[in-house]
């Protein structure tokens, strides 16, 4: 009997069988991205927006709720498969991967670890079924100093009133569910920070300015405005005053997601560079035949493989319950550097064509820069690594 299944069916089936073949799963995600996302990449970059129809396809495929248990509408798979999905999507468009990354490694991950049975029952099916999530920690004066929050929460008994502004919030335009950090006791420092689940239609909540960015432009980055925002007490995530633990542990895992994004991006740039050097002819032969070009390609591929192994190692350690703080910092640090170098090389190999928007590598070059900034700058990763090594 002929096989009437589609590539999308294969991806969905691989999710529901817990991805026994990880390579097949990764290839299936990449094929979906190549078919459904690649034709939209330039338009999304120019317009700075992701079509809702594409977001719906991501939900239909199950990659917006990879770790969510099947009982709550998710794929019931592992953290490692979320990492593979982010990597595969980033080969085509890191902007889409950013949305999937935040949804899985930050928002859903925080709910799975810290959510009460009530919060899990209310929000995981929603986040698996069509609601985009966002993670709101950063503020204008609290970037690397993440816990210098000015947003505050006043305890009103059965609810809290949140006031303040959040900045640089990924998925801000699309999200319906937000994890927002505010302090209930400014005098307590970081021990006053509490995490709250806020819905888009809660009174006093609004989305402000959308940033006009250098790269990953289709991924929205927005300001959030809290004006006496009313949040039920039952929507506290974790314990009151323990929001710093939610933030630290979630961001440690999120850094592995950024590492996956960067290696996927670097692989996409390398793919383009290899294909172009075989096609571009100078002095009577393909430029891939010149030893200088061959050596540059070989070096980029070697760096990329090293970065990939670092990302996978950090993910495996996390799954095994082993310490992974140093490994997560290392993989984010190194993969972001590899992505910047690799995309720069691709632009160089394309020559003049690499500098114009008609060809894909200039976008990947712009997209790569953020890897050294968000979810902990490279200097912060170096600090974390040094502390782990030196005690």
Active-site amino acid positions: 375
Rounded CA-CA distance 90/359 in Å is 17
Are the C-beta atoms of 150 and 167 separated by less than 8 Å? Answer: no
Contacts 24+ apart (CB under 8 A), 31-37: 31/7, 32/7, 32/8, 32/57, 32/61, 33/88, 33/89, 33/91, 33/92, 33/93, 33/96, 34/92, 35/7, 37/89, 37/92, 37/93, 37/96
Rounded CA-CA distance 262/390 in Å is 28
Joined tokens for residue 296:
């540059």
In terms of DSSP H, where are the helices of the chain? Answer: 7-16, 22-32, 41-47, 52-61, 79-90, 94-101, 109-114, 117-129, 243-279, 291-320, 325-350, 361-368, 378-390
- Euclidean distance between the first and the last CA atom of the chain, given in angstroms as a whole number: 63
* Burial 58-72, CB ≥16 within 10 A → b, else e: bbebbbbbbbbeeeb
The DSSP bridge pattern shows strands 285-286 and 281-282 to be: antiparallel
Q: Please report where in the chains the tokens 């630290």 appear, as a residue.
A: 248
Rounded CA-CA distance 241/244 in Å is 8
Are the C-beta atoms of 104 and 66 separated by less than 8 Å? Answer: yes
Rounded CA-CA distance 343/354 in Å is 10
């Amino acid at each position: 009997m002929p096989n009437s299944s589609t590539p999308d069916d294969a991806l969905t089936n691989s999710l529901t069988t817990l991805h026994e073949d990880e390579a097949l799963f990764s290839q299936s995600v990449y094929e979906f991205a190549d078919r459904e996302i690649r034709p939209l990449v330039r338009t999304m970059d120019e317009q700075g927006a992701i079509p809702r129809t594409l977001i719906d396809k991501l939900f239909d495929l199950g990659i917006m709720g990879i770790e969510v248990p099947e009982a709550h509408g998710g794929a019931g798979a592992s953290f490692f498969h979320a990492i593979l999905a982010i990597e595969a999507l980033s080969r085509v468009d890191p902007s889409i991967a950013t949305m999937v990354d935040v949804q899985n490694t930050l928002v859903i991950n925080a709910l799975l670890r810290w959510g009460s049975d009530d919060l899990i029952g209310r929000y995981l099916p929603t986040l698996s079924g069509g609601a985009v999530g966002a993670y709101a920690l950063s503020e204008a004066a609290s970037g690397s100093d993440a816990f210098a929050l000015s947003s505050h929460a006043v305890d009103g008994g059965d609810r809290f009133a949140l006031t303040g502004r959040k900045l640089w919030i990924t998925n801000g335009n699309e999200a319906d569910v937000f994890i927002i950090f505010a302090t209930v006791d400014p005098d307590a420092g970081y021990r006053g920070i509490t995490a709250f689940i806020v819905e888009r239609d809660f009174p006093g909540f609004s989305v402000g300015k959308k940033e006009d960015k250098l790269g990953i432009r289709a991924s929205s980055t927005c300001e959030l405005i809290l004006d006496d925002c009313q949040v039920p007490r039952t929507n506290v995530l974790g314990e009151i005053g323990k929001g710093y633990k939610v933030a630290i542990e979630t961001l440690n895992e999120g850094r592995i997601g950024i590492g996956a994004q960067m290696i996927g991006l670097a692989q996409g740039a390398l793919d383009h560079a290899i294909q172009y050097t075989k096609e571009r002819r100078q002095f009577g032969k393909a430029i891939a035949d010149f030893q200088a070009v061959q050596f540059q390609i070989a070096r980029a591929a070697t760096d990329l493989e090293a970065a990939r192994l670092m990302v996978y190692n950090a993910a495996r350690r996390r799954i095994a319950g082993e310490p992974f703080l140093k490994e997560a910092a290392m993989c984010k640090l190194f993969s972001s550097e590899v992505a910047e170098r690799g995309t720069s090389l691709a632009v160089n190999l394309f020559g003049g064509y690499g500098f114009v928007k008609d060809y894909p590598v200039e976008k990947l070059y712009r997209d790569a820069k953020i890897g050294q900034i968000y979810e902990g700058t490279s200097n912060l990763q170096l600090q974390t690594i040094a502390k782990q090594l030196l005690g």
